[in-house]
A and B are shown apart, each in its own frame.
Chain A
């Protein structure tokens, strides 16, 4: 299987380490480039939130793991109006198409329509098991 680009979707509420280590090894196996994605709700200008700081922290944590492993990586932070399953799923699909992603890794507890995601794609999707997130 020739996979050039792997997309990993990070959840801001989950620790990044287990899914990061898994995905970096996957990228090494396929000699692929990583795209790390977090999706957050567009913050209201009058509300102080740390969600975007947590999202960036997750992205830079996986960037460090990738860098140390010699894997190329691009970071994506996407803001959407409403964090509902349909909107998140649609955003992931649009990114997969835009960056010619060949494999997707998502958390088991990601807020997505996994059925819609899989049926809308022709690439392998790895759902990271919940028990592996307990570091």
Chain B
């Protein structure tokens, strides 16, 4: 099982997301996956992520959201990260906007890895020290190092 730090794309880290609305943020992060040739069918992947967003809240509270999709439109499991200084409404149950947003893409046949990635990332992001470091990271390397230190 790959670690999160191994599937978090090195150049898939945006420390200052411009979009302020959920769908636009997901589109911004999805573009990174498209550019990195992770996605075979961009439209199908985007639709899969939005379908899930309509079914459930991927905002897990504490200022964190983990939009995700497992679909045949994805070639390899990958994670990208975006940080929104203002926060984005992901309909979290605690009512807080999300500042830390991790988008997970997984192929259809990688269910176990996908669920474990979600579980490990959620665990990591419940730690307040980890969230503080991610909120204050000055560069992508500090984000990666935080993930390495806490996973």
- Using CB atoms and an 8 Å cutoff, list the residues of chain A in contact with chain B: 52-54, 56-57, 59-61, 63-64, 66-67, 70-77
B104-122 interface bits toward A, Cβ cutoff 8 Å, 1 = contact, 0 = none: 0000000100011011101
Are B119 and A75 interface neighbours, CB within 8 A?
no
A53 touches B119 (CB 8 A): yes
Quote the shortest CB–CB distance from A76 to chain B (angstroms). Answer: 7
Contact B118 A67 (CB under 8 A): no
Tally of B interface residues using CB under 8 Å: 16
Contact between chains at A53 and B120 (CB < 8 Å): yes
Contact A61 B115 (CB under 8 A): yes
- 9 further A-B contacts with Cβ under 8 Å, apart from A53-B123, A57-B115, are A53-B120, A56-B118, A56-B120, A56-B123, A57-B116, A59-B119, A66-B56, A73-B56, A75-B56
Alpha-carbon gap, A52 to B150, bound state (A): 13
CB contact list, B124-143 vs A, under 8 A: 126
Q: Are A56 and B55 in contact (CB under 8 A)?
A: no
CA distance A64 to B120 in the complex (A): 16
Task: Output the least CB separation between B47 and chain A (Å).
Answer: 14
A-B contact pairs, 9 of them (CB 8 A): A52-B126, A53-B123, A56-B118, A57-B116, A60-B115, A64-B111, A66-B55, A74-B57, A77-B60
> B93 near A: Cβ within 8 Å?
yes
Majority DSSP secondary structure for residues of B touching A: helix
Measured CB to CB, the nearest residue on chain B to A56 is: B119
Q: How far is the CA of A53 from the CA of B116 in the complex (A)?
A: 8
Q: Assess the B118–A60 pair: CB atoms within 8 A.
A: yes
Min distance, Cβ B120 to any Cβ of chain A, angstroms: 6
Nearest A residue to B60, CB-CB: A75
B48 vs chain A, min Cβ distance (A): 10
Contact between chains at B119 and A74 (CB < 8 Å): no
Assembled-state Cα–Cα distance A90/B127 (Å):
25
The answer, yes or no, to whether B52 is at the interface (CB within 8 Å) is yes
Chain B, 62-92, contact with A by CB distance < 8 Å: what is the 0/1 string?
Answer: 0000000010000000000000000000000
The contact of A67 among B56, B119, B122, B126, by CB within 8 Å, is B56
In the assembled complex, the Cα of A66 lies from the Cα of B55 at a distance in Å of 9
Which of B60, B118, B119 lies at the interface centre, i.e. has the most chain A CB atoms within 10 A of its CB? Answer: B119
Give bound CA distance, A61 to B112, whole Å.
Answer: 9
- Chain B residues closer than 8 Å to A75, beta-carbon distance: 56, 60
Query: Judging by beta carbons under 8 Å apart, are A73 and B55 in contact?
Result: yes
Distance in angstroms from A63 CB to nearest chain B CB is 7
Q: Are A63 and B111 in touch, CB under 8 angstroms?
A: no
**For the complex, what is the distance from the CA of A61 to the CA of B123, rounded to whole Å?**
15
CB contacts (< 8 Å) of A54 on chain B: these are 119
Bound complex: CA A73 to CA B2 (Å):
27
